[in-house]
Structure formats: structure tokens, C-alpha cells
Structure 1
Amino acid sequence: MRRVLVVDDDPPMRRVLSIGLRAYDFAVVTASDAGTALALAARRHPEAVLLDLGLPDLDGIEVLRSLRAWSSVPVVVISGHTGIAARIDALDSGADDYLTKPFAVEELAARLRAVLRRPAELNAQENVQIGAYTLDLGGYTITRLDGRAEDTVHLTPTEWRLLSLLLRSPGRLVTGRELLAAVWGPDRVKNTNYLRVHLAALRQKLEPDPTAPRHLITERGLGYRFQP
């Protein structure tokens, strides 16, 4: 079954889409707001996202742009906005398709199958090397290159989520706002101290010299970058 994240603040719509898409052999997880959606996208890695633009905590376009900062997951916008300007804005911001409400679930399932047929785009290899360690992003494991078990590194769930966002976009700047929204939710985008604390912990655990990081780079005033 293909995993789909449905993001919509309307409970009846979420219920209809969940039931309807499961009938077409999709595995569905739902979110009612932007913060939950971004957290689920980072943690569960859905194969496609259905995104409503009218969310209570953050504009859907901002959610789309946050996703595109680190993921190429196909996104189908589902919206009540029928104007051409809304469609252009969504598509220019990274949406793969745009479907206007109301619509038939049969058509939605067909649109999903279409975007899922496109060639997969990998933002980063699943196994990434940082210093003396190899990180398996799919299995959430860390091993030393020399196999020394006594130096095994353990990351917290929050550290894994934050690190995965950076490692899946090698060489690209990911803004602090995007990281905060994806990991902690859009109501925490001003809490930049969260990033400083957790990045310092990750460098301490993974960098050969935490005081002069080579891989987890701070772009002062902008965000962070993973340098392979």
C-alpha cells in the first residue's frame, strides 16, 4: 500500500478521504494543522501528500514551501479556491497537482497514482557518513566505520528528526524557520534557541571536532547546512 498524508482541518473531509482512499489501496495518515503535518512528514516519510490550503495555524503555501526545502514528496493541493492565481501560486511553490473541491474520490485516486508514477527523486543517499560514523536514515541506526561497538552513538527522537531534514538535502541551506516548523510546529518558529541547543548536541556526538564543525554548518542569521 502507498502511504499518503492527508492534511485538512475539516473532520468530515478527513474522514471521507481516509475511507475513500483506503478503498483504493492507499494507507492514510491524517493531520488537521500545519504543525502536525510537518512533523508527520518528517517522521513518517509519506509517499504523497494531500494538502488543503486553508489551515488554522499556517497558510498551506507556507507548508508546501517548508516541505520543498527538504523533500521531493509528491504534493497534490486540494482546495476550495477556484481562481487561476491560487493554482499558479501553489504550482510555483512546488505542488505537483491542484484539485478543486468538491471532487470525486475516484479522480483524486487517479491523480495520486499519476504523481506516484513519476521517477523517484532522492534528496540524499540513505546511508550518510559524518566523521567516523555511518548513519542509516531509513533504519535510524548509527555505526562506526571501524566497527567499535563501545563508541555507539544514540540520538533522541528530536535529534533524528532534525538531522534527517538536513541530511536529506545535502549542500542546501535549510532555514531555521523551516526546521523549527517541521520539528516543533509553526508556533515555535521564533524559538531559535531550540536549534542552537540541539545542533550543539549533534555536533558533540557526531563531528570529529565539535568546536570546528565540518558537516553540520551554521549559516549565521539564515539557517543550517549539511556539508557531506
Structure 2
Amino acid sequence: MAAAVAVSGALGRAGWRFLRLRCLPVSRCRPAPLPRAFHASALRLRSSDEQKQQPPPSFSQQHSEAQGSEEPSPEAPRSAPRYTDQGGEEEEDHESEEQLQHRILTAALEFVPAHGWTAEAIAEGAQSLGLSKAAASMFGNDGSELILHFVTQCNAQLTRVLEEEQKLVQLGQAEKRKTDQFLRDAVETRLRMLIPYIEHWPRVQSPYPGPRPTMCSHL
């Protein structure tokens, strides 16, 4: 009887301890949460491990991605075609024949003191531009076109001088001259343009065979 009472008492105490254990607060039974910083470090470490496990991209994949990223460049505008003359210099091929003749005649004026108003002076002028002397065949053999070019150039230069002087008068930067003084100065300015060619100027005033209305109108 005493033994039964002892066993019953032991079981009662054990049951009471078990009940106390089950009735503990929930917070005491749960494990403590991990710090946030440690949790973030663990996530980064896991992501780094996953990236290391991925195989590197092949050369063909890199090449295709590089081609896909390149944008097609717009086609560059084409420049105007050029040609190279005998002197090795490039010239615009859209230069008109009239413009070419103007350049040749202007260059030929430099050779008038040595060759006069002749086709030879024109040929030398063409050669100075890197062109063939055969370019002189574009003009007549009497040199009349060279004379006409010179007279036209002188008249245009005189016009520019007079226009510039008129602007200065309007701006109050120059004094307006009397008519007779104005005409005298204009004629003097025009005659001074003949000085470099004075040796061959008598030929311009000599009679030429055939009508020359254009030349007379400019003189």
C-alpha cells in the first residue's frame, strides 16, 4: 500500500512538471530571430554563389550581343565629285566653262607685260593654274577676249571704289566733292589701272579687223 502511494506521488509530480512545461509562454519556446544585417549578408552570399555557378557567356553570344547593341550609322552624305588637273590639284567638276575662262583670263593678265595681249599670255595663264597650254584654244587668237576681260575688270573695280566713297560720304566720314573734282579723280583712278600694261596699251587702241561693238562700249 505504501509503495502504491509512493508511485502515485511520483507520477503526480512528474505530471505537474509536464503541465508547467506546456504552459510556458510562447515567446520563451521560440528561437531568437536572426539579426537583419546577418540575414542580408546571407542573402548576398547566396546570390554570389549562384552567379559563380553560372557558366560564362560564349564568344558567339558576346559577339551577337555587341552587334545588337550597335546602332546603324546613317550613310554619310556624298561629296561633290572632283577631278584632278595636270598640276595634281583637285577641282570641282561642276565649274562652268564661263567660270573657267574667267579664271584663265584673270591669271593671263599677269603675263601681259611680257607677252602682250596675245594668245601666248593666255596659254601662260592657263599653265599657271595647273592646266594645259592647250586651254588657250578656248579663246580667239587675236587676244581680244583678254583685252575685253581687262577692261571689264577695271570698270568693275572703279565702280566698287566709287560706291565705297559714296558710303563714306553718307556716313559723314568723308567730305562730298564737287562734280568736276569727282570726275577728275574718277578718271585718274581709272587711268592708273593701266600703268602695269602701259607698254602694250597702244595695241588696244589700234584698229582691229572686223566690227568690235562690245569692246567700244566698255572703253
TM-score, normalised to structure 2, is: 0.24
TM-score, normalised to structure 1, is: 0.23
Structure with bigger RCO (C-alpha 8 Å, 6+ apart): 1
Which structure has more strand as a fraction of its residues?
1
* Structure index of larger Rg: 2
